[in-house]
Chains A and B, each alone.
Chain A
Amino acid sequence: MIRFEPRGPVGVSRMIAVPVVAAVVALILAAVPMMFAGLSIFEAYGLMVTGAFGSLFAFTEMLTRATPLILTGLAAAVAFRAKLWNIGAEGQLYAGALAAVAIGTGVVSGPSYILIPAVVLAGALAGGLVMLGPTLLKTRLGVDEVVTTLLLNFVILLFVQMMLEGPMQDPMGMGWPQSEPVLDEAALPKLMARMRIHWGLILALVAALGVYFLLKRTVWGFEIRAVGENAAAARHAGIPVTATFIRVGLLSGALAGLAGVGEVAGLKGYLTADLSPGFGYSGIVVAMLAGLSPIGVVFAALFIASIFVGADSMSRATGVSNYLADLIVAMALLSVLVSGLFLRFKIRFVGANTTREAAE
C-alpha cells in the first residue's frame, strides 16, 4: 500500500528541483521509443543539443521559437493563478494575429513609431476580447470556462480561414489562403542581421517581468492570488471577485494575442491558418513546468523551444520523425504533474490496514 503524507511549506530549492527532475525524467522516458526507432541515444540527444545550441543560428532559432511560448505560457500562468482555466490561448493567438494583420497591412499608414504600437495594441486587445466572453459566461452564468475556451479555439481558427479565403485574402497571393503582407513600417524589427530573431522576444521578456511585478507587488496581483487560492474567503473579505476574474481574463487573452502579433508581424510577415503549431497548447505545458511562476515561464519556454528546435534538427539528420518533440513535451507535462504530488506529499510504502491514517 502507498500512503500520502502532507508536507509542510515548500522551499525554493525544491520548487526549482521539481521541474528540472521532471524534464530529465521526460528525456529518459523518451529514450525508449528512440531506441525502438534504432537511434543511439547519445547520438540523438547530441544532435538535439547541437540543433538548439550548436551555432549562433541554431541558438537564435531556438530563441525565436521560445518567443511565442513565453507569451502563451504567461497567458496560462496568470489565468491559472486565479484558477481561471484558460485553455484558449491558441484561439486568442490567432485573434491577435488577425487583428495585427487587419491594422498592419495598409488600412492605416504612418511611421513605425505609430504603426508598431498600433499593431501590438490591436493584437493584445483582440486576444483579450476573445477571452472576455468565456470569463463573463463563467462569472455571470457559471459556465465552465475549460469547455468554452477550448471550443472557441476551433471557432476562431475557422473564422481565420474564412477571412483568409474571403475578405482578407491577398489579391497578389496566387489564390493561396493567406493575408496581405504586413507593411515594413508595422513589422517588429529584427534583433540581428540575417537571423529571424525579432523584437517580439524583448516584448515577451518585458511581459514576463511585468506579470511578475503585477502578481508580486500590486493590489491587483494580491487580489488575483487571493481569488485563486480561496475565492470564498476573498469574497468574504470584500475583494471584488468578478472584477478580478475579468481583469485576469483580459490580461491572459491579451498576452496570448501578443504571441500572435509576434509571429505575424515579427516572423512570418503575413497570416496563414497554420501560423501556430499549437503554441497555445504548449503554453499550458510551459506554465505548468514553470509552476505558474512568470520568471519560471521564461526558462520553461526556453526548454520546450530547444526540444522542438533540437528535434527538428535531429529529425533532418536521422530521418526519425520530429513528432518525438511532441512526445517529450507531453512526457514533461505528465512528469511535472506527478512531481507536483511529490512536492505536496511525502510518499510512504507501508503494510496493509494502515492506509487510513492521517494526523488528526
Chain B
Amino acid sequence: MVHSPSDAPLVLKLDGITKRFGALTANGDVTLELKQGEILALLGENGAGKTTLMNILFGHYVADEGNVLVARDGQRLAELEPGSPHAALEAGIGMVHQHFTLAENLSALDNILLGTEALSALKSARAPAQKKLAELMARSGLAVNLDMRVSQLSVGEKQRIEILKALYRDARVLVLDEPTAVLTPQESETLFATLKKLSAEGLGIIFISHKLAEVIASSHRIAVLRGGRKVADLPTEACDQRQLAELMVGHEITETVREPGHAGEPLFVMTGVSAGHGREALHDIYMDLKSGEILGIAGVSGNGQTMLARVISGLETPAQGTMTLGNRNLDHASARMMIDIGLARIPEDRHHDGIVGAMSVSENLAIEAIRKPENQQYGLLRFSAMRERARKLIKAYDIRCQSEDSPARLLSGGNIQKIVLARTLETEPKVVLAAQPSRGLDVGATSDVHKRLLAARGRGAGVILISEDLDELMRLSDRIAVIHRGHLSAAEPTETLDRGTLGLRMAGHSGKDAA
C-alpha cells in the first residue's frame, strides 16, 4: 500500500462511459476519476471490460455514451476528442499495451522518437532528445541502453522503453495494461518501485491487473469492474484480498486446497533430453515425475516451456536423451502413442491446438479417440454413441454450450478448456501434462481446472504443471522445478521454496545465489 495524495487536483475523468458490442455491454455507465500523482488499480476478471475502457480512453474505441475529460497543464478538465489516439497523446495520455508496440529492428532511441518528429524535419534532433532522455532516466530510475536494437532487449527492458516513450512525450497520465504478465517477481517489484517514484513526481497512473497481491501492494485506490460495471471504488487501505476477489467474481470463493499427497514411484522420466534450437531450445533436461504428485515447472514465458510441452506431447522428437513411462521407451513417440499409453496433454494454446473450432462440441470431445471402437465401426462413425457420451461429459464437466452439436468455436475460453479437460481426463490417464492450464481463464474456470488436476493426482496420476503463475504453482505443486533458457533445475519440495528464491531462479540465478 502506498500513501495517497489526498487533495491533489483531478487529471482525468471518465464520465458515465457506456460501450456496447452488439448485444454485449462491455462497459455500462462507468465513472472513474484519477488525481494527479495517484496510482489507480483497475481490477477485474477477463472480459470485465478493463481493456475496453482503457481503449476508449486512448481513442481506439468511441464510447456510445459518456465523455473522457482531461486536464491539460494544470487547467480545468476539458473534453477529449473521442476516437482519436492522436488527441489522447496530445493531451498527455500514454499507454503501455500488454503486447508491446515496438519496432524490433530499430534501436531503443529510434523507437522512442518514432512519431514525435515532423516528416518535414531535415535533420533528426537526436542530441537534444538524448539529453532529455538521460534526464528522464536519471529521475525515474528507468535505465535502458538507448543504442541497442529492441530485438536484443529483454522483456523488462522493452517495457521500460514503452514507459520512457510515454514520458518523453510528456505524459501526465500513464496507463499500463497487465504490466506484470510477462515479468519475473523481481522485475515486477522494480516496475512498481519506478511507478511509485513517478507518481510522487505528479504522474497519474492507471494499471490494469487481475493479480490481487500486487494491486494491494502498489496502489492508492482500487476500482473493481465486473461484467462491464464498476462495482467498487475504494482506497487501498480499506481492502483485503478476499474481499477484492469476491467483488471481482461476484460471489464467495472456495479456495482449492492441496491435501498432503502420497507420491509413489517414479512414473515418467526424462533423462538428458535436448530438443529444438534457438531461444526455445531444451538442453539436457532431467525430470522424474512420480505417481500421485503434481510437479510444477516455473519460468518466465519463452524459456523453453513450449518446447518442453511439445516434446512431452509427442509433437517433437528429442535430438538427444530418453523418455520413459514405466518400462516403456518414448524417444520416438508420436502424439497418437502418447494418448494410447495414457499420457493426457492439455495444450497451452487451447484455441490453436486444443479444439477444431468449426467442428461440434461432441466431435471435439471424441477427436482423440475417434478410432476407438466406441466411436467407430468398420470405419463408420457411430454418431449416436458419440453424442450420447458428449451429453454425459457436458453434464459432468459443466460445459456451457447450446447443445453437443454447436460449433466449438462459439464457446468461451473457459468452456473450451473444459472440453479439453473432459476428453483428456475422462480416460483416467497415468500422466497429465497441463501447459498453462488456467491462462486467460476467470476465477471460476481456474478453480475448476485446479480441482480437476488435484483429483487426477488424488487417484494416483502424475501431473506436470507448466505455469507462469507462481501463486498457482505454489498452491498446487508438491515439487517445483524452474526452467530458464532451456535448462531445468532440480525439482524441490514446495515447502522448502519461497517466491523470492523461485523468482531469482526464474531470472537465471542458481540456487546457491538465492540461499
Q: Is the beta-carbon distance between B406 and A237 smaller than 8 angstroms? A: no
Contact A234 to B336, CB < 8 A, known contacts A354-B83, A360-B26? no
**Contact, CB under 8 Å: A233 / B355:** yes
Contact with A along B21-49 (1 / 0, CB 8 A): 11010100000000000000000000101
Query: Across the interface, do B359 and A225 meet the contact criterion of CB distance under 8 Å?
Result: yes
Some 11 contacts from A to B, beta carbons below 8 A apart, are A9-B407, A218-B379, A219-B370, A225-B359, A233-B355, A238-B368, A353-B83, A356-B60, A357-B62, A360-B21, A360-B52
**Contact (Cβ within 8 A) B380 A238:** no
Q: How many residues of A contact B (CB 8 A)?
A: 31
Closest 7 pairs (CB-CB, A-B)? A353-B83, A359-B21, A238-B336, A229-B358, A236-B353, A230-B356, A238-B335
**Chain A minimum-CB-distance residue to B22:** A359
Q: Is A219 a contact partner of B381 (Cβ separation < 8 A)? A: yes
Number of A-B contacts (CB under 8 A): 101
Closest to B335 in A: A238
Q: Please, which residues of chain A bring their CB within 8 A of the CB of B347? A: 236
Give the residue name and chain of the A residue nearest to B83 (CB).
Answer: A353
Could you tell me how many residues of chain B have their Cβ less than 8 Å away from some Cβ of chain A? Answer: 48
B184 interface residue (CB < 8 Å to A): no
Q: Could you tell me the distance between the alpha carbons of A342 and B18 in the complex, rounded to whole angstroms?
A: 29
In the complex, whether B447 has a CB less than 8 A from a CB of chain A is no
Contact between B376 and A219 (Cβ–Cβ < 8 Å)?
Answer: yes
| Residue picked from A218, A230, A358, A359, most chain B C-beta under 10 Å | A230
Cα-based distance from A294 to B29 in the complex (angstroms): 51
Q: Which residue of B lies closest to A226 (CB)?
A: B356
| Contact call B354/A233, Cβ cutoff below 8 A | yes
Instruction: Given A219-B370, A238-B335, A353-B62, verify A226-B359 contact (CB < 8 Å).
Output: yes
Do the beta carbons of B24 and A219 come within 8 Å of each other? no
Taken together as a complex, chains A and B put the C-alpha atoms of A219 and B380 apart, in Å, by 6
Contact of B357 with A by CB under 8 A? yes
B241 to A: closest C-beta gap in Å: 26
A327-360 interface code vs B (CB 8 A; 1 in, 0 out) = 0000000000000000000000000111011111
Task: Compute how far the CA of A221 lies from the CA of B407 in the bound complex, rounded to whole angstroms.
Answer: 17
CB distance from B379 to the nearest CB of A (A): 5
Interface residues of B (CB under 8 A from A): 21-22, 24, 26, 47, 49, 51-52, 59-62, 82-84, 313-315, 334-336, 338-340, 345, 347, 352-359, 363, 367-368, 370-371, 375-376, 379-381, 383, 406-407, 410
Residues in B whose Cβ lies below 8 Å from that of A219: 370-371, 375-376, 379-381
CA distance A226 to B347 in the complex (A): 17
A240 on the interface (CB 8 Å rule)?
yes
Q: Is A239 an interface residue (CB 8 A)?
A: yes
Closest chain B residue, CB of each to CB of A350: B62
By the criterion CB–CB under 8 Å, are A230 and B355 in contact? yes
Q: Which A residues touch B358, using CB under 8 A?
A: 225, 229-230
Q: Is the CB of B367 within 8 A of A239?
A: yes
A9-B21 in contact (CB<8A): no
8 Å CB contact of A218 from B335, B338, B381, B407: B381
With the chains together, A9 CA to B334 CA distance in Å? 34
Q: Mark A215-249, 1 if CB is under 8 A from B, else 0.
A: 00111111101100110111111111000000000
Known: A225-B359, A229-B357. 8 other contacts (CB 8 A): A9-B410, A217-B380, A223-B370, A234-B356, A236-B313, A238-B334, A359-B24, A360-B26
Whole-angstrom CA separation of A236 from B345 in the bound complex: 9
- In the complex, which residues of chain A have a beta carbon less than 8 angstroms from the beta carbon of B368? 237-238
The residue in chain B whose Cβ has the minimal distance to the Cβ of A9 is B407
- Residues of the A chain whose Cβ atoms lie less than 8 Å from the Cβ of B375: 219
State in angstroms the CA–CA spacing of A258 and B315 once bound together: 37
Which residues between 224 and 280 of chain A lie within 8 Å of chain B, taking CB atoms? 225-226, 229-230, 232-240
Q: Which residue of A lies closest to B354 (CB)?
A: A233
A222-B370, A226-B359, A359-B22 known; A236+B380 contact, CB < 8 A:
no
**A8 touches B (CB below 8 Å):** yes
A360 to B356, Cβ gap below 8 A?
Answer: no
Chain A residues with CB under 8 A of B47: 360
Contact between chains at B61 and A354 (CB < 8 Å): yes
Give bound CA distance, A240 to B371, whole Å: 11
| Residue from B24, B62, B340, B370 in contact with A354 in the complex, judged by beta carbons closer than 8 Å | B62
The minimal Cβ–Cβ distance linking A229 to chain B, given in whole angstroms, is 4
| B59 CB contacts on chain A under 8 angstroms | 353
CA distance A214 to B334 in the complex (A): 26
Q: Give the CA-CA distance A333 to B229 in the complex, in Å.
A: 47
B80 shortest CB reach to chain A, Å: 13
Q: State in angstroms the CA–CA spacing of A329 and B384 once bound together.
A: 41
Chain B residues contacting A217 (CB-CB under 8 Å) are 380-381, 383
A353: B residues at CB distance < 8 A:
59, 62, 82-84
- Of residues 7 through 58 on chain A, the ones whose CB sits less than 8 Å from some CB of chain B are 8-9
A356 CA to B61 CA, complexed, in Å:
7
Q: How far is the CA of A238 from the CA of B343 in the complex (A)?
A: 12
Residues of B within 8 A of A239 (CB): 367, 370
Contact: A220 with B359, CB < 8 Å? no
CB closest residue in chain B, given A358:
B21
Tell me the minimal C-beta distance from B211 to chain A in angstroms. 20
Q: Is the CB of A218 within 8 A of B367?
A: no
Q: Which residues of A contact B353 (CB under 8 A)?
A: 232-233, 236
A235, B84: Cβ atoms under 8 Å?
Answer: no
Closest chain-A Cβ to B496's Cβ sits at a distance in Å of: 35
Q: Bits for A92-125, please: 1 = Cβ < 8 Å to B, else 0.
A: 0000000000000000000000000000000000
A contact residues around B370 at 8 Å (CB): 219, 222-223, 239
Across-interface contacts of B24 in A (CB, < 8 A): 359
In the docked arrangement, what's the CA distance between A234 and B315, Å? 11
Shortest C-beta distance, A1 to chain B (Å), equals 11
